[in-house]
Amino acid sequence: MTTNPTMTLHARVVRDHWARLKSYFRSKVPEPDCYDLVQQTLAELVKCDLAAVRNMKKYVMRVAHNVLVAYIDEHKAKTVAFDNDVHSVMGPQNSFSARLDERARLLDALRSLPLAQQEAVELRLCEDLELTEIAEVMERGLATVKRYIEAGTKQLRTSLGGIVPGDPASAVTEAYRAS
């Protein structure tokens, strides 16, 4: 079987972004659904002309955001409309031992944020996107993104005060990337 430049580009995108997508979805969606969302995102990317994409990381994260929103819309109870400015994706704990694990507590603190704040904090701290890129990914204004990051970071400092001294950014980033 011969490969063409498009197949090579798609393979490189999968290789370069699979771990990032796994971390992004695992911090929001329970297993095994998180892996399904990674696959859905990659399937959406294969349909695209990736050669025309100028900022691949931002593009991949935008597609992942769209897949996540569609998943939440499909799986949330229809009696209450999901508002990512208000609601979080926090679910029940997996086990007693997981709750005692520091990484699990860090991720739980991250998951307890309203989804918009969680996503903005993750994209900034964990994925190193610029504020303007985050605004484009989330389809929000720059001031709104800054507000999400500030509020999310403040809430993380408060909720992680007894777990992580000082600014929790590096601990949260490490837990996110390890998930």
d(CA 60, CA 37): 13
The alpha carbon of 39 is separated from its chain's Cα centroid by a whole number of angstroms, namely 15
| Tokens representing residue 36 in the block | 């399904």
Query: What is the model's pTM?
Result: 0.74
pLDDT at 139: 93
pLDDT at 89: 64
- How high does pLDDT run on average in the chain? 82
Torsion of CA 22, 76, 153, 147, to 10 degrees: 120
SS3 content of the chain, % helix, strand, coil (to 5): 70, 0, 30
pLDDT at 99: 38
Burial class (CB in 10 A: 0-12, 13-18, 19+), 79: exposed
Residues of the chain with pLDDT under 70: 1-4, 6, 76-83, 86-101, 163-166, 179
The residue assigned the tokens 């998951």 is 111
Question: Where are the alpha helices (H) located in 4-91, listed in sequence order?
Answer: 5-26, 33-46, 56-75
Tell me the per-residue pLDDT of 43-83, one tens digit each, with 9 for 90 and over: 998 888 888 889 999 999 999 999 999 998 887 655 556 66
Q: Are 64 and 21 in contact (CB under 8 A)?
A: yes
pLDDT at 109: 85
